Chain A
Amino acid sequence: MAATAIECKNVSIRYITGDFKAIGLKETVIRKLTHNYHVKEFWADKDVTFTLERGDMLGIIGSNGAGKSTLLKAITGIMIPTFGTVKVKGNIAALLELASGFDGDMTVRENAYLRGAFLGYTRAFMDAKYDEIIDFAELQDFQDYQFKQLSSGMKSRLAFAIACLVDPDIIILDEVLSVGDGAFRKKSGDKMREILDSGVTGLLVSHSIDQVRELCNRVLWLDHGRQIAFTDDVDFYCDAYEEFLMTKKLPRTSADLQKLAQGHKVRMAAEEAEREKKVLARAKSRKSGT
């Protein structure tokens, strides 16, 4: 039996927001005195429960504000759940919003080491991996450039390379598989699959359902913090989710789900037919044109 890598039990996270951000001490005092100080609380995640075994790849799906990123923050230990428990075995490489946290005045080399240090690696380890990282990011000729001189694609490539080449036990990908140009995207996709094949546990947040279908063997569906499903039936739930995105009807029962998935199949078939018709029409018009 495979070992448990991540266990989330009834995880609920209360998030606070409101106009208390950056208003200053004087303003805060005045607002408190005039009873005009508002803090909104809401549950970013409510009762989320799932278990991942080593080597699993979880796709977290859900529309904006579903609580995906908050959940990831709880798993990386940046936030602690208000209720429930998160248990994680192994070290985590988080790829949350790749290119931030680099320093523009420092060189590519220095930034690579700094990022390595943030991710918790030692100097010896970074010395050993550095060349590989630079090769993968295709930045051999830019090592001593200041970071601000790079293009944004280059920056993301470096970030991706560092996070992937430092063999983590758990890798967290928040909307990151779409960096770089087409060639690099293919390379990073290949690397990703290689990493996953090597038994690393992964969590992927992506708005690209195709990516989830391709890479993941588990799916967690969140909606406004609520757990709609945690399942290994990736295709079925991805169908249902895609249909949900079109119809905005949240499934309440398994019958609803069936209907959504079925609806998706019908729609796909219709679109396929439509496409074929267009291709035929185009071929026909070309023929008649010549």
Chain B
Amino acid sequence: MNKLIQTIKKNSFLFQQLVHRDFTQKYKRSILGMGWSVLSPLLTLLIMKVIFTEFFARDIDHYTIYLFSGNIILSYYKEATKNGMSSLVDNAKIFTKINVPKYMFTLSKNVSALVNFGLTLIVYFVFCVIDGIQFWPGMLMLVFPVVCLLIFNIGVGMILSALFVFFRDVRYLYDVFLTLITYMSAVFYSVERYWFKRYFLLNPVYVYIKYFRTIVIDGKIPSLPYHLLCALYAALAILIGSRIYKKYNHQFLYYL
């Protein structure tokens, strides 16, 4: 027990330092860098709104918020997993020389994506006010999909980072995969009129987006099984990720 506390204490200092480093690397100490990460999803939103309103807005209430919900979650997923993917390769020089727990690199890379997500979430709620969304206590439940998504992203990041060590073209293959995810997440259209709408639930990103929409737009809390599904995806990702890290912990360095 004492040892565990000591490990956490020791690693928390390392964690802070790594997060600090990742932020410095990413924003190069510029305020604009931070601002851009909020501005960029807003621009995407604007473009989608302009283009898709004519096609899809008729069937969907609060179309702006509908779009925005899809957008912020999808871009959080993309950013976090892409960052996570490079976490091992970027730090190869360190962990092949010093014995450091490797998951620390993945964790710290997830922080900046989470912070960005937090910032856009603030803008999201501002838009909710503008769009006349009713705020109600059930909205506190949004913490649940956010936590699930965070764990899911860490897990996927671990899996990808390991794959990226072994196969450097995973980066490009993953880009293709992300295009698939983007169109399968129903960001700008509604799945309600398709007979195969249940199969969209196979896509974890869609599951988390739908959770947001159910609470914010429909004003309802999803069912218990739906919660379990959210948790299941998160648990699966983190379990597979940590299994891979454990198994290949000492083999990564052959590939770097």
A residues with a Cβ closer than 8 A to B are: 15-17, 20-28, 73, 76-80, 92, 94, 96-97, 100-101, 103, 105-106, 110, 113-114, 117-123, 126
Contact = CB atoms under 8 A, between A and B. Distances in A.
A22 B98 contact: no
Contacts of B100: 118
Given A21-B255, A92-B99, 4 more contacts: A77-B99, A79-B250, A118-B14, A121-B13
A24 B24 contact: no
B169 interface: yes
A77 B168 CA distance: 26
B20 A20 contact: no
A113 B28 CA distance: 18
Given A25-B167, A78-B97, A118-B100, A105 B24 contact: yes
A94, A118, A121 interface centre (most CB from chain B within 10 Å): A118
Given A94-B97, A105-B28, A110 B20 contact: yes
B160 to A, nearest CB: 12
A103 B98 contact: no
B23 to A, nearest CB: 10
Given A78-B97, A96-B97, A106-B21, A122 B10 contact: yes
A192 B10 CA distance: 26
A15 B254 contact: yes
B12 to A, nearest CB: 9
Contact of A103 (B14, B25, B173): B25
B97 A101 contact: yes
A123 B95 CA distance: 20
Contacts of B18: 114, 117
Contacts of B170: 24-25
Contacts of B166: 25
14 contacts: A22-B168, A77-B99, A79-B253, A96-B98, A100-B94, A103-B21, A105-B29, A110-B20, A110-B24, A121-B13, A122-B9, A122-B10, A122-B13, A123-B16
Interface residues of B, number: 33
A22 B255 contact: yes
B96 interface: yes
B93 interface: yes
Given A24-B167, A28-B167, A78 B95 contact: yes
B24 A101 contact: no
Given A101-B93, A118-B14, A16 B254 contact: yes
B40 interface: no
A77 B98 CA distance: 9
Contacts of B134: none
A232 B25 CA distance: 48
A80, A97, A120 interface centre (most CB from chain B within 10 Å): A120
A21 B250 CA distance: 16
Nearest to A16: B254
A92 B20 CA distance: 25
A16, A17, A25 interface centre (most CB from chain B within 10 Å): A25
B17 interface: yes
Interface string B218-256: 000000000000000000000000000000001001111
